[in-house]
Structures are given as structure tokens and as C-alpha cells.
Structure 1
């Protein structure tokens, strides 16, 4: 009896697996739609930019001036913003304040010059003109 119950339970579980994995398709895909594989798939939404200046290569300072800061609800603390700026090669950040668009702004030293800096909600670091 015990073996029969175990067998029934096992068969029930195995029988439900394909049902749980099925999906329902409604409508038809667009005739010119590319597959995810051929289109490169979905990109990460909250990925910080990687075009940051390198403190050891002064010529990369212009890279940060080209980075775009995005508006949004920013949960970074001032300490986290300072850390991001340090990682990007900016030193001695001063007057850091979060503006009404969620972007931390202030000034920092880069290659011996004080420059305006910003950090957005994604962690992007930029030195806007």
C-alpha cells in the first residue's frame, strides 16, 4: 500500500511538471520582428556607464564630461557618492548636494583642477561642462 501511494505521488508530480512549464501565446509576433538571439537580447536597464576617467591617465578626463546623467530617484548616500567619485579618479569632493532631479552635484579635483561633478541614480559619474 505504501509503495502504491509513493508511486501515485511520484507520477502525479511528474505529470504536473509539463503543465507548469507550458506558456500561452496570444496574438502573433510582428512579421519583421527579430528573435532575441539575433537582436542581442534585452540590455541591462540600471547599468552604470563604464566610460569613466582613469586617474592614472589624465587624457581620459574628457570621457567623464561626455557621460550623461539621468534623472531619477537617487538612494545613494553622500558617502557612497564620494566613493563613486574616488573610484572614477575625482578627489576631494566638496559641496555635494542632491538636486531636485535626483542627481548628486558638487565639485571635485581632477588633474589638479576643480571641476563640477555629478552622480545619478544609476551610479553614473560625470563632469558636466
Structure 2
């Protein structure tokens, strides 16, 4: 009987370790940052170190054209731009994520 208890405990420990090591996908903050701009629902708050030219480049990479009125407020680059024939307010957070309204 004692062997069964030890065997059951050992199997539980090994199974738990395997589950903890599975990769998670779709993380908003991945371990390795992809250089491509991401479009998200809300910008992340934080100090932004992008220059205006870098911000314009990130927005252009995300498919925006005619980027105007680009200013930095509260750590976010904000401006207006065109995409698919529609004008939108665009924002770039400190992580390089693009948000539009």
C-alpha cells in the first residue's frame, strides 16, 4: 500500500512539472520582442523613448500614411493618419504598439 501512495505522489509531481513548462502563446509582453508593430486595443502607459522620426516609421510600418499632427503627450505619440481610405487618430506607446480610434 505504501508503494502505491509513493507512486501516485511521484506521478502527480511529474505531471505538474510538465504542465508548468508548456509555452504560452499570445502574450502581450513576450520574452522575445518582435520588431513588427502590433495593433492593440489600448496603449500601455509609460515613458516613451521613441523619437518623432521613429514614431512615424512605426506608424508607417503599421500601414498608415499621411501622418500629421504627431505630438508626444503623457508618454504616447499621438497624431492623425490615413489607412484604407479612412482618417483615424493614431497612438504609439512606449512598447511600439499602435492604437487607433
Q: Say yes or no: does 1:44 pair with 2:30.
A: yes
Question: Structure 1 residues 103, 116: closer, same or farther in 2, change over 3 A?
Answer: same
1:1-129 matches, within 5 Å, as 35=17, 36-38=20-22, 40=23, 44=30, 47=33, 52=38, 64=39, 67-100=41-74, 102-128=75-101
The aligned counterpart of 1:14 is none
Normalising by structure 2, we get a TM-score of 0.65
CA RMSD for the aligned pairs?
3.0
Q: Which runs of 5+ in 1 are unaligned?
A: 1-30, 53-63
Q: Distance in 2 between matches of 1:115 and 1:123?
A: 18
Normalising by structure 1, we get a TM-score of 0.52
Report deviation, 1:109: 0.8
Tell which structure's C-alpha radius of gyration is larger. Answer: 1
Question: Structure 1 residues 123, 69: closer, same or farther in 2, change over 3 A?
Answer: same
Report deviation, 1:113: 2.0
Question: Structure 1 residues 69, 81: closer, same or farther in 2, change over 3 A?
Answer: same
**Higher relative strand content:** 2
Question: Structure 1 residues 88, 51: closer, same or farther in 2, change over 3 A?
Answer: closer
The structure whose RCO (Cα within 8 Å, separation 6+) is larger is 2
Q: Distance in 1 between matches of 2:31 and 2:53?
A: 24
Report deviation, 1:96: 0.6
**Higher relative helix content:** 1
